[in-house]
Amino acid sequence: MRLWKRVLLLVACLSFAASVSARELVGHAFVRDDGSLLIRERVVHLYGIFIPETSRQCRDWIRPVRCAERAVLALDFIVQGFVRCEPQFERADGSLEAICHVERTSFDPGIDLAAYLIEKGWALARPEAPFEYQAVERIARARGRGVWGEPVDVIRDRRRE
């Protein structure tokens, strides 16, 4: 009888662990041109943000040269390898909306990719976004970062004068 209880407890623990890991998507991420991620053949959109159109830029100091919206380039810069995503819901087209982090470990929460883009001023917090995203957007707006500030091209032209 005692062995039976241990087996039952082990099965319960394993099923709980499987359900927790099934909710999380972890893998090497590729940044797509629309700002979504491709992880393990799943398209993942960052939850709670809207990426507005900005002028396309090219990173010509790397090979291959990458040209895209500024938010996409910023995301491509920070996503270097594995990403850990917590899906929030599935869209009608089968893609996921998720909160994603890089450099996340057991001891470090890592960097929230959506919050990173909002902080840089390259994304906006949607109304249903977490409160933290709304606060970070207000700070980026107050500091005039990204879409909230003067275009980077104008600043670059002034330095040449």
Dihedral pair phi/psi, residue 49, rounded to 5° = -130, 160
Which residues, including other chains, have CB under 8 Å from residue 60's CB and lie 6 or more apart? none
Q: Which helix (H) or strand (E) holds 99?
A: strand 96-102
Can you give the pLDDT at residue 151? 56
**Whole-number Å distance between alpha carbons of 103 and 111:** 7
Please give the model's pTM, rounded to 2 decimal places. 0.76
**Whole-number Å distance between alpha carbons of 27 and 38:** 9
Tokens found for residue 77: 């810069």
What Rg value do the Cα atoms of the chain yield, rounded?
A: 20
Tokens found for residue 92: 């009608």
Tokens found for residue 146: 């990204």
* Structural domains of the chain, with CATH: 24-160 (2.40.50.90)
How would you write the pLDDT of the chain (161 residues) with one tens digit per residue? Answer: 565 545 444 444 444 333 344 589 999 999 999 999 999 999 999 999 999 888 777 777 666 777 888 899 899 889 988 999 999 999 999 999 999 999 888 888 899 999 999 999 999 999 999 999 999 999 999 999 998 885 544 444 443 44
